[in-house]
Chains A and B, each alone.
Chain A
Amino acid sequence: MRSRNNINLRISGPVRRVIHFYVDGFRRMTVGKTLWKVIIIKLIIMFGVLKLFFFHDFLGSRFSTDKQKADYVLSELTRPVQNQKIMHKEEKDDREF
């Protein structure tokens, strides 16, 4: 029983020291406390407001597979060619009419 406790102490010793290092470090901060407040407010605005309500993944929210995304981007790239084809067809139809 005693040896098992010693092992626990040896394992937890360094981990406890690291935790204590951080806890104590944060506790002793002066200007750091203000900075952490700024960081937390900033992250809440960024992720809780901007990302959630304004910055949706354009492709991810419209398509579920990579194939669909690739087809969409390819159609965007070839849109000028498609538009030109439509224009030529309309011109031809007008002439025939």
Chain B
Amino acid sequence: MIENFDLTMVNWARAQFALTAMYHWIFVPLTLGITWIIAFYHTIYVRTGSNEWKNLTKFWMKLFGINFAIGVATGIIMEFEFGTNWSNYSWMVGDIFGAPLAIEGIIAFFLEATFFAVMFFGWNRVSKGFHLFSSWMVALGSNLSAVWILVANAWMQHPVGQAFNPDTARFEMKDFADVVFNPVAVSKFTHTTSSSMLLASLFIISISSWFILKGRHIQMARRSIAVAAVFGLLASGFTAFTGDEAAFENARHQPMKLAAFEGLYKGEYGAGLVAAGLINPTKQPGDQQEAFSFEIRIPGLLSLLANRSPGSFVPGIEDFVYGNDEHGIMGAGEKIKKGRMALANLDAYKTAKEAGDEAAAWEALAAFNENRDFIGYGFLERPEDTVPPVALSFYAFHIMVILGSLFTLVCILYLFFSIKGTLVRQRWLLGLGTTMFFLAMVASQAGWIVAEVGRQPWAIQNMLPVGVATSNLTAGTVQTTFFMFLALFTLLLIAEIGIMAKQISIGPEED
């Protein structure tokens, strides 16, 4: 069925969206996290009146400003792409996404735009209290904007509070609260914001470590690290907790994704979590090959993660593809049949409506409603088409988890030596610390890959495969804009790194 759509164009549209979203995602987590830490530094300055804290706050504020300015509006490009490359999808979800994205726009505009200027221009020109309030409002505003974007994203992963209208071909919102309090949205928001705070802490640790190694601004760097290490440690604990919650929600609503990022082909009782492993790249569902060339598993941990019970059964990729009667799991083959029936009945409904045959239309609609939850499967050709790219999901997930554990350890060490007062002498740790921001970016991008590659082939889980969500365009059109974006983003990134590096080398200015 899906061969009816131009897959070359689909893959270019996918690549373009991935490029845009991942580029946008370079800036977003730093903005989300660093605004809280800056507001905290600012609070210390207001409470102590110390000029050193003021200079420190202004320095980090300047770096945040650079990140914000280069990143601003890069998200709008995704909206261009929705209208051009993903018009079927845009039309179908317009009713659901309209409200959250409008609220995001209003909150972002009023909170961020209003207080952003006061935060940057307000030194000695508004009262200290109002200035500080503005810093906290910028942090709150940027994080509140993230709520609505993540609500929209979570809906695609777990489409709740909606009904498909066969007359308009749109998903219509039936319950706003269901959409907003979607459990996937809650876990996404908490995991995103906590990991962003961790990333921002590591940004401060990296630059401050570099200052100490160079013997410059040592006092400022030590103070920055003392706060950032505490923030980082708290955020890493919360990131692990919310990550566990996200995996638990995956087990409920996107179990294929969970199985893919653990490379679990056959379901198991007491399933182990892979601590380290090498995926067999030629492994396909249903064949007799081993899934891993090498693996180290922690027994029972995946079952604990998925079901809160170490001995419980965790279904694997093949259970979802071919079905598992013992555990009541319907195979993708049966779902494809039901999906095709839904599509045939949708077509019959449309034809009857056009012919003015109301009785036939109602009959077709009743038949459609019986299978509408499987409609997306109707576009798939084979049961194996429901499997996301396993190797990419597995490696992205494990890189994210391993780096997350490293970050916790680094924050503990920085905090320990800061309390002991010997941080300046730990040159090995400071050297390691300078690499932390880059590694945090890698972990952050890996997290995006886990979330978005792991849910393939779906644009909307079970409802709309990516291949059907696109516009009827030629691949050449999308290729041209892909390379234009690549050039634009590369130039912007060079500009950001250049401007940021220059400001870091200048360091904090004395007030």
Contacts and interface: CB of A to CB of B under 8 A. Distances in A.
B81 A55 contact: yes
Given A73-B92, A77-B346, A25 B120 contact: yes
Interface residues of B, number: 53
A78 B499 CA distance: 52
Interface string B136-169: 0000000000000000000000000000001111
B379 A58 contact: no
Nearest to B478: A54
Interface string B115-136: 0010011000110000000000
Given A38-B492, A50-B484, A81 B347 contact: yes
Interface in A6-63: 21-22, 24-25, 28, 31-32, 34-36, 38-39, 42-43, 45-46, 50-51, 54-60
A47 B497 CA distance: 24
B1 A80 contact: yes
B308 to A, nearest CB: 39
Contact of B378 (A28, A75, A80): A80
Contacts, number: 119
A32 B167 CA distance: 51
A35 B69 contact: yes
A76 interface: yes
Interface string B159-201: 0000000111110000000000000000000000000000000
Contacts of B72: 39
A79 interface: yes
A52 to B, nearest CB: 11
Given A32-B120, A35-B66, A69-B91, A50 B346 contact: no
B91 A25 contact: no
A64 interface: no
Contacts of B87: 57-59, 73
A70 B250 CA distance: 32
Given A55-B83, A74-B350, A42 B73 contact: yes
B77 A50 contact: yes
A54 B168 contact: no
B301 interface: no
Given A54-B484, A66-B168, 13 more contacts: A38-B492, A42-B488, A50-B77, A55-B481, A58-B473, A60-B83, A75-B350, A77-B169, A77-B346, A78-B346, A79-B4, A80-B1, A81-B344
The 8 tightest CB contacts between A and B, nearest first, are A25-B121, A58-B87, A35-B69, A55-B80, A78-B347, A80-B1, A73-B169, A81-B347
